[in-house]
Structure 1
Amino acid sequence: MDNKQHAAPVAPAAPAQETAPPPSYDSRQLLGRDGVAIITHQGQRYQLRQTKAGKLILTK
């Protein structure tokens, strides 16, 4: 007698949903010539600024 166990067939994976890429912004558009932008998130204000070295810093 054959005592081998047979695995149940595996259902094919559902096709991955394609999602739109996230919005993309050029930092110069956000920061303007002063290099500072205020971003409001869930009622809180954050300051996004560019340092002299060209890095971005987000502070509350």
Structure 2
Amino acid sequence: MYYEVWVDLIKKDSVLKKLQEICDEVHGVFYDYHFIVRVSDEDVLKIDGVKRYRRHYDC
């Protein structure tokens, strides 16, 4: 499934690296959230620097 991810901007670079390691896909966006990611289990998104995530409404 795809999730919208909001991150702590101070930790954005380190969070991006971690997301790239654990997610099947990571896409940077410039809307209301910072990334769209594809993962099979949303629990992997519970990492330091991720403020919030929710299932992407289109996917």
TM over 0.5: no
What TM-score, normalized by structure 2, do the two folds share? 0.24
Larger Cα-atom Rg: 1
Q: Which has the higher contact order (CA 8 A, sep 6+)?
A: 2
Q: Which has the higher helix share?
A: 2
Select the structure that is richer in strand: 2
TM-score by length of structure 1 reads 0.24
